[in-house]
Amino acid sequence: MIEGTTMDAEVEKKQWDLCPFCGSEKVFGAYAKGVCERMVARGDTQEAAERYVNHSVYRECPTPEKHKEGMVPFEELENGAYYLGSCRNASIARWNAETKQFVYMREKFGDVYPEEIGYWVEAKPGEHRFDEFKPYCKSDSPPFEIPMTSRWR
């Protein structure tokens, strides 16, 4: 847990319930229902299928018409603002213009802590990039607070 906060793994997981393109809460839609039906047809119980499918990967955005094309341009990022997007470990991050890094909350083995990550850019030949954040839209109501820097600085 972060010193002075009540952040835990359950709070951190709330970010995965939001669409990274518009911030709408994801719903159990047609795709998830189809997965459930196939699981039940293979012999799983309805309850087990729904528990499995309730994972955010199978839920979908109810308002795809709100999605904008592309990422928020680097030069339009605002210091301290929260952005919905994607990277390996987060779907919401906070921009720190001073460090030119996003800060996001990472859950690993039940411990939740802030980590920094760069803005997604096209890798140049010979560059090996592991993970960077792709911001798709600004969030005015993030599901939790993110500090401006990680504990590693």
Q: Are residues 133 and 84 in the same domain?
A: yes
Q: Which residues of 10-35 are buried (b: 16+ CB within 10 A; e: fewer)?
A: ebbebbbebbbbbbbebeeeeebeeb
Q: Are residues 133 and 76 in the same domain?
A: yes
Instruction: Give the model's pLDDT for residue 96.
Output: 96
Q: Are residues 99 and 43 in the same domain?
A: no
Q: Are residues 39 and 73 in the same domain?
A: no
Q: Are residues 87 and 51 in the same domain?
A: no
Instruction: Give the model's pLDDT for residue 7.
Output: 72
Instruction: Give the model's pLDDT for residue 74.
Output: 93
- What is the SS3 assignment for 113? strand
The verdict on residue 105 lying in a domain is yes
Q: Are residues 39 and 93 in the same domain?
A: no
Number of domains in the chain: 2
Q: Are residues 96 and 38 in the same domain?
A: no
Q: Are residues 127 and 82 in the same domain?
A: yes
Two tokens at 8?
């835990």
Instruction: Give the model's pLDDT for residue 148.
Output: 92
The verdict on residue 133 lying in a domain is yes
Which domain range does residue 97 map to? 9-16+69-139
Q: Are residues 79 and 134 in the same domain?
A: yes
Instruction: Give the model's pLDDT for residue 80.
Output: 96
Q: Is the pLDDT at 1 greater than 50, yes or no?
A: no
- Mean pLDDT (the chain) is 85
Q: Where are the alpha helices (DSSP H) in the chain?
A: 9-12, 30-41, 46-53
Better pLDDT: 109 or 95: 95
Q: Is the pLDDT at 55 greater than 90, yes or no?
A: no
Two tokens at 111?
């411990």
Q: Are residues 53 and 114 in the same domain?
A: no
| 0.75 surpassed by pTM | yes
Q: Are residues 46 and 97 in the same domain?
A: no
* Percent residues over pLDDT 70 in the chain: 87
Q: Are residues 44 and 91 in the same domain?
A: no
Return the closest-CA partner of residue 142 out of 101, 86, 81. 81
Instruction: Give the model's pLDDT for residue 23.
Output: 87
